[in-house]
Structure 1
């Protein structure tokens, strides 16, 4: 009987020790998952056209005060610019020492370069029509604004791979600079 209790106690102790070991493993989050969660926190509001994100971008455009002259609704422009925006985390590679990582993210968005090219085409068509000869400066500016918005509306999305560097500080994975340049390269590809 004592032998049986001893074996039962040892089995329970072994199960508890194994359970504690598993709990210890589970307590330390996977770096790749933490980085993916950070990327999602950054890009999901844009992808989902979250009103706060749209309002923030709209405010930045309005602060630049360049669209008002052309009669462009900044919110309409932001919504057009972000239409079709998407991203996919393709890979996360954590360095062997566990202090840095890189995340490769495929960003799908409209290209400002392509939108500018389309605006140039539309402007040439408008100029060739001769309609601008009978327009006031204000009417011409409004037409330019309409062309800019039309060009953005008609621009197709394209996908660009971006690489984001991460480092760990106080058990939190953080972007390590260069993110703005990567995003810039996607929007101007």
Structure 2
């Protein structure tokens, strides 16, 4: 039995893109919505954590500072029953921003979390490599990953709702069963 605080969201979408409002976020939200639809659950309990807004990152000469918030993003991730983690692919892997965030969790600290890794990339090999690497780190942190990671090509993003629906059709049963076992 989980000791989740009642005020924490059931579903957390964690976006590892250094740019807020990205297509990566849209992909993650589409997958979360498709899963929740098939699980007959309300999408209103979804919390989106954009690391671009939480962690200070700069690609220019000016320093960046993360947003000040009362919410603890680490607590939200630890307490999620379903964690959808999405990243663009940089140099064949998930982003350093996401790596820095996930490195803050200890071994098996996400043992009560069911996770869905998603990677977006320009090339199929990069998408698969990043999705697989993200799956591996989530498993190392103890998360249950009952379905294969989703690798989406940038050229497919116009059809992201259909891709999310097809993926959810194939994997909702496994994810739902795992969530029931973790709860």
Question: Per the shorter chain, which TM-score range?
Answer: under 0.3
State which structure, 1 or 2, has the greater radius of gyration over its C-alpha atoms.
1
Q: Greater relative contact order (Cα 8 A, min sep 6): structure 1 or 2?
A: 2
Q: Greater helix percent: which structure?
A: 1
TM-score (normalised: structure 2)? 0.24
TM-score (normalised: structure 1)? 0.24
